[in-house]
Chain A
Amino acid sequence: MNDVTLEVRNLSTHFETRAGTVRAVDDISFSVSRGRVLGLVGESGSGKSVTGFSIIGLVDPPGRIAGGQILFQGRDITQLPERELRSLRGNRIAMIFQDPMMTLNPVLRIDTQMIETVLAHAKVSHEEARTRARDALGMVGIPSPDERLKAYPHQFSGGMRQRVAIAIALLHRPDLIVADEPTTALDVTIQAQILAEVQKLARDNGTALIWITHDLSVVAGLADEIAVMYAGRIVESGTVADVLDRPLHPYTHGLIGSVPSRNRRGTKLRQIPGMTPSLLNLPGGCAFRTRCARADAACEQDPPTTEPVAGHALRCFHPQLEVVA
């Protein structure tokens, strides 16, 4: 059996606005295999969330998938009719959102919100659905799940709500989970617990996981592979060891340099000068060149994707080969 759960090929997602076309996701390709974790890293506005929503087919107008393929278990789901896509959503492909305070409906009880998810994809009795919901709550470490089923979201803390959201995502033991910064809004202690649990659950069930985050330290501990996004493009990708220990792209260097570290105590934190460019009027060529110290005339052309080291891809004319501290 093919182990690649999801393969994204040359995906572009555009938003048609009055001011022009926003290329939120521009020609990106990556893949995730069973039981593997892909960290999708980038700043706000780099297109990582839009990538997630494109995969699950929930890009709202004026956005649309403008090109490329999303092969889920070998099937291109960008071509699926809405009804079939819906039978995948929440069933084979699940998503966890960023803000647990907002993702659960405040006026519906937890059991309602879980049971409807079970019943949307499985022909089982109401009692059976409730049992599955309870078991899922137990699995993510919510104490006395039978009682908690009857509670409303506001009776849970943020961390508990995210656990409920994760439990909902796990209800049908999906083949792929897209997690969009699910621990950003949580305390570090809760974050660590949830990271450990998700990692274990994904590994046990053979679920492929796409973990979208801006936090390199989260990815370092969790992911197998990393894809770094900048202005809608993947600028560098490879294994965690490759990308984090031997980054090649100047942007990845900048990102790693921006993380405070004990090794560089007392020295000024390095910053990436400038800001993420507006996606409306991206500079032609490499989008990072206006902020890049190594940029020259060559960078006005679109850099092609190259693989200087096997399995370590990047889009840059001037890869940075020396090692950073």
Chain B
Amino acid sequence: MTTWLLRRLIQAVFVVLVMTVIVFIGLHVIGDPIDILISPEADQAERARAVAALGLDQPLWKQYGLFLWGGLHGDLGRSFVFNEPALQLIGGRMPATMELAVTAVLLSVVIGIPLGLYAGLNPDSLLGRTTMAGSILGFSLPTFWVGLMLIMVFAVQLGWLPSTGRGETAELFGVQWSFLTRDGLAHMALPALNLSLGNIALVLRLTRAGVRENIHMDYVRFARAKGLSPARVVLVHVMKNILIPVVTIIGLEFGSTIAFSVVTESVFAWPGMGKLIIDSINVLDRPVIVAYLMIIVFLFITINLLVDLLYTVLDPRVRLENRQ
């Protein structure tokens, strides 16, 4: 177990390192932020001063070295635009994205698993067929379009829910959260639903497939032959077997939901990390972009690690010690 964890951590460090190199070189290729940052009227001397102030006069390897050194001390650079530490800037926006992503994933579990169970147990029923057909739409419709439609229907036509911003927030652990107030929840409803649609479809189909596959297994028949109630057979025997792939997907999707909430946040003007990163890319605010990508990489690695650990809880056949 310890060896396994140690090995995984070393792997993680390498992934982060490779990622920094790719990001650094990539950003350098995209363009020179100085052209965007200083006014077109600035003269040569002003320009040189600005370049030196941002450290852009150094050779790339030196910039990279300085970045790594800073990173080791928990400093991922200062935003060119806001002149604030990038981490602090992103950290300030993180709760908004986090609560949106967590809500979206919760929705996909709460809606996807029961519907998938139902569709799996009653594949020929009307609801079973409808959910399966509907889930195809959940996959294939682009997020931004669904977002616009949600706004059209629920905000514009029906006027039930607000369409922009976080609404009223309340403080918990020194951070502002929307989910603690009624108004905040109302604001979160549409973007969270929009963000979760694809995941609902995925979890639903995975659960359904799992049920279809497992329900005909001998162990299910044997469980029934023991005289167990149908509820126990499905919710304990079948569920525990299905949960293994479902947990993997939910874990991976949680990472992507955070990373790719960009579109939803833009459509609903949700002031989260996604909106920040889009704005930063537009002005080539390098430290923010790098810091953002680092955080996402870190999140993915952490989530994957947690999913692997969860496996051992769910599937007794997985033994971490034997892993290569």
Contact = CB atoms under 8 A, between A and B. Distances in A.
Contacts, number: 76
Interface of B: 217-219, 221-229, 232, 236-237, 240-241, 244, 314-317
How big is the A interface, by class?
Answer: 20 to 34
A145 to B, nearest CB: 19
A56 interface: yes
Given A107-B315, A152-B316, A117 B226 contact: yes
Nearest to B226: A90
B314 A58 contact: no
A120 B228 contact: yes
Given A107-B315, A107-B316, A58 B225 contact: yes
Contacts of B317: 106-107, 152, 154
B240 A107 contact: yes
7 contacts: A58-B221, A89-B225, A89-B227, A95-B222, A98-B218, A107-B316, A152-B317
A290 B224 CA distance: 39
Contacts of B222: 95, 97, 103-104, 165
A258 to B, nearest CB: 28
Contact of B227 (A102, A104, A113, A120): A120
B221 A105 contact: no
B36 to A, nearest CB: 56
A168 interface: yes
A153 to B, nearest CB: 9
Interface string A96-121: 01110011111111000100110011
B193 to A, nearest CB: 33
A54 B225 CA distance: 12
Contacts of B224: 58, 89
Contacts of B226: 89-90, 94, 116-117, 120, 168
A105 B227 contact: no
Across the A-B interface, give the 10 residue pairs with the lowest CB-CB distance, nearest first. A90-B227, A90-B226, A102-B218, A89-B227, A152-B316, A103-B222, A95-B225, A117-B226, A105-B219, A107-B240
B217 A117 contact: no
A99 B217 CA distance: 11
Given A108-B236, A108-B237, A97 B227 contact: no
Given A107-B314, A152-B316, A56 B228 contact: no
B218 A99 contact: yes
B228 A94 contact: no
A87 interface: yes
Contacts of A207: none
